[in-house]
Amino acid sequence: MKKIQIGKTDLRVRSLGLGTNKIGGYNLFPNLDDETGKKVVQTAIDHDVEMIDTAYMYGLGHSEELIGEVLQHNDRDKVVLASKAAQQVAEDGTVTLNNTPEFLTKSVDEALKRLQTDYLDIFYIHFPDQETPKAEAVGALQRLREAGKLRAIGVSNFSLAQVKEANADGYVDLVENQYNLLQPDATNELVPYLNEKNISFVPYEPFAAALLTGRYSLENLPHFEEGDHRLKIELYEPDQLKKNVAKVDQLKPIAARYDATVAQLVLAWYLKNPKIGPVIPGARTPEQLLSNVKAYDVQLSDADYEAVAKIFA
């Protein structure tokens, strides 16, 4: 299996990873089960899913803790472990963004403790703050890399201008921003710059918060429980939802030709897309993880790749 090089580093990963906001992310999703979450991580490792992507904000460190428990029973070198931080949470629950070198250094050290490891393969600044010079923030991560605590440096949810500022010294290896067939803006201006600078692009929300899984139809529109972060997503607003579901419905006959699910077809489309790097779909259960991995078996033709692109153009 061909692997993707991460930026200019010596890190190489298989193209399908695991996003873990549904593993311990009790502040994002209702009714999560910790034991099931740990089983998802173990299933990923057992099936050669190398990149495991987490963040402090997934359960305020709880996702990291669960992954750390699983790592104790596995070969750490088999995992490309990524985490993120930028959110400073006060005792009253107020969240402020902080990119200062002091806060990022502290955040990395705390993540290492929760994950029970002495190094992170990748660390991202999760969101930009408004005050800290971005090159200064990344410079702090570079010092941590030189100290052996990180192998690659990333930024997440940064605009093109902010990425350029962050990369002033050439230290940025990855950008993790929102991208999927329904939200393709990142490939217009950001990705060309990243490709030029040999910076890997890691798209998050590849299923557009479940819209691109094919589980919904015009007769079966989604309904979420209170506390589910998807209630706040623009794609689910009433004036957009039916149009988005109608587009996804057009994928069903294409997926059927490959004896695949719509979700597997969508992942296969990303894997064939030369503009993007590793894809990190989430999974709530081991079964969902195993279904995602089957996307490797969908060898999408050029004609069907273009047909999918046309639906979402």
Report in angstroms the alpha-carbon separations of 138 from 3, 96, 133, 154.
26, 19, 9, 8
Neighbours of 178 (CB within 10 A): 16
> Does residue 166 contact residue 175 with C-beta atoms inside 8 Å?
no
Q: Angle at CA 114, nearest 5°, toward 110 and 118?
A: 75
Buried b (16+ CB within 10 A) or exposed e, 20-42: bbbbbbbebbeebebeebbbbbb
- Given 56, 58, 124, 216, the catalytic residue: 58
58 in catalytic set: yes
Neighbours of 284 (CB within 10 A): 17
Which structure tokens are listed for 89?
A: 């949470």
Query: Residue 164 corresponds to which amino acid?
Result: K
> Does residue 178 contact residue 203 with C-beta atoms inside 8 Å?
yes
- Listed in sequence order, the DSSP H helices in the chain are 34-46, 62-71, 101-115, 134-146, 160-166, 190-196, 238-249, 252-257, 262-272, 286-293, 302-311
Catalytic residues: 58
